[in-house]
Structure 1
Amino acid sequence: MTELKIRKRALVVEEIFHEGGPAPDTPLLRGAAIAVITNPFAGRYEPDIQWFMDDLRPLGLDMAKKLAEALGGAERVEGYGKASLVGSAGELEHGALWHAPGGYAMREVLSGTKAIVPSSKKIGGMGARLDVPVTHVNASYVRSHFDSMEIGLNDAPRSDEMLVALVMTTGPRIHSRSGGLDASAIKGEDGLR
Structure 2
Amino acid sequence: MSEFKLRKIVVQVEEILHEGGPVADPAPVKGAVYAICSNPFAGRFEPDLQPAMEWLKPLALRLTDRLVAALGGREGIDAYGKGAIVGEAGEHEHGAIWHVSGGYGMRDRLGECRAIVPSAMKVGGLGSTLDIPLGHLNAAYVRSRFDVITIACEDGPRANEVLFALAMARGGRVHSRMGGLEVDQVKGEDGLR
Give me the TM-score of the superposition, normalised by structure 2: 0.98
Asked if 2 retains the 8 angstrom alpha-carbon contact of 1:33 and 1:63, the reply is yes
Aligned-pair CA distance for 1:173:
0.4
| Aligned Cα root-mean-square deviation (Å) | 1.0
Aligned-pair CA distance for 1:155:
0.6
Aligned-pair CA distance for 1:66:
1.2
Aligned length: 193
Matched, 1:56 2:56: yes
- Percentage of matched positions with identical amino acids: 54
Match of 1:69 in 2: 69
Match of 1:191 in 2: 191
Asked if 2 retains the 8 angstrom alpha-carbon contact of 1:75 and 1:110, the reply is no
Give me the TM-score of the superposition, normalised by structure 1: 0.98
Query: CA separation in 1, counterparts of 2:175 and 2:105?
Result: 30
Gap runs ≥5 in structure 2: none
Matched, 1:136 2:132: no
Post-superposition CA distance 1:107-154 (Å, at most 9, x none): 111101111100000000100001000001110000010000111110
Letter in 1 for 2:87: G
Aligned-pair CA distance for 1:19:
1.1
Query: CA separation in 2, counterparts of 1:178 and 1:3?
Result: 45
Aligned-pair CA distance for 1:2:
4.7
Letter in 2 for 1:20: G
Match of 2:78 in 1: 78
Matched, 1:121 2:121: yes
Query: CA separation in 2, counterparts of 1:73 and 1:21?
Result: 28
Match of 1:164 in 2: 164
| Aligned positions of 1:138-153 closer than 5 A | 138-153=138-153
Aligned-pair CA distance for 1:3:
3.3
Letter in 2 for 1:75: E
Letter in 2 for 1:63: L
Asked if 1 retains the 8 angstrom alpha-carbon contact of 2:3 and 2:40, the reply is no
| Aligned positions of 1:170-181 closer than 5 A | 170-181=170-181
Query: CA separation in 2, counterparts of 1:181 and 1:2?
Result: 43
Query: CA separation in 2, counterparts of 1:2 and 1:173?
Result: 38
Match of 1:13 in 2: 13
Gap runs ≥5 in structure 1: none
Letter in 1 for 2:166: L
Post-superposition CA distance 1:30-69 (Å, at most 9, x none): 1001100000000011101111111110000010111111
